[in-house]
Amino acid sequence: MNKADKRFLERIRSKITKAVEDYGLINDGDTIVVGVSGGKDSMALIDILANRRLFSPLKYQIKAVHIQLTDVPYYTDDQYLKTFCESRGVEFELLVDEQKIIQEGKQPCFYCAWNRRKLLFEYTAKNNYQKIALGHHKDDVVETLLMNMIQHGEFSAFPVKLKMFDGQFELIRPLIYTTNKELERYTQLIGYKPLPYDCEYATTNRREQIKTLVQQMYEITPEAVSNIFKSMQNIDFKHLPLQKL
């Protein structure tokens, strides 16, 4: 690996360190479940947290969990995920659920995501883990913001950390300062090859349509996503039509 690539890896890892420090995402002694899908984001998160643990004065445990819903038509090589995680000192567990997800005449993506999240929450609570780390990045925040504005007339996305069920555990998103393109390059450099995701619904859900919109914004200006992200902390209420006359 050349010096430029090594510097890039360190720059991305430093962004995660900054997010952890800015938001207080990880504390000494934490036990953290990482929800892994097999996509580049969650696997980059596994690699970064495992690498950070080697040098950080904070000691924490990581458990990778992949949820497989048998009613959803897609394939993931769980053995490949297991090998990737365990090569980094991270224990891997596969949870298989056979409940019915597909409902005739309804787009299943919401139900699929909802059930995965529910099972991950239940696993975390049952095993007394303190935190769940998810692989959402800056582009995901902006996509969610646009979806909520377009579909619900609401200016909202999701927080970097959130206590769940009266503080039983906490959701954290350490990749919040990274972009989709950065994570693509990161996973290429660490040798991870994202698994094929051949779900027949993957290209027809609303979020995929929003992703296309975000790509068009990048074409307008390379800083589009970063600027929209910053705008959520730079709201000028004086120049917004907040009240009817």
- At residue 241, the pLDDT reads 85
Q: Which of 9, 76, 17, 75 is nearest to 44 (CA)?
A: 9
- At residue 75, the pLDDT reads 66
- At residue 44, the pLDDT reads 96
Q: What is the C-alpha separation between 234 and 237, in angstroms, rounded? A: 9
Q: What is the C-alpha separation between 108 and 157, in angstroms, rounded? A: 21
Strand 161-164 relative to strand 169-172, pairing: antiparallel
CATH class of 3-235: alpha beta
- 228-231: Cβ within 8 A, 24+ apart: 228/142, 228/145, 229/138, 229/141, 229/142
Q: Which of 27, 34, 68, 71 is nearest to 49 (CA)?
A: 34
Domain ranges of the chain: 3-235
Q: Which residue has the tokens 């050349």?
A: 2
- At residue 187, the pLDDT reads 95
- At residue 6, the pLDDT reads 94
As a three-state string, the secondary structure of 115-144 is HHHHHHHHHHHHCCCCEEECCCCHHHHHHH
* Tens-level pLDDT at each residue, the chain (245 residues): 899 999 999 999 999 999 999 999 999 999 999 999 888 999 999 999 999 999 889 899 999 999 887 766 666 788 999 999 999 999 999 988 777 766 655 566 666 777 788 899 999 999 999 999 999 999 999 999 999 999 889 999 999 999 999 989 999 999 999 999 999 999 999 998 876 655 665 556 677 888 889 999 999 999 999 999 999 989 988 888 876 65
Strand 91-97 relative to strand 161-164, pairing: unpaired
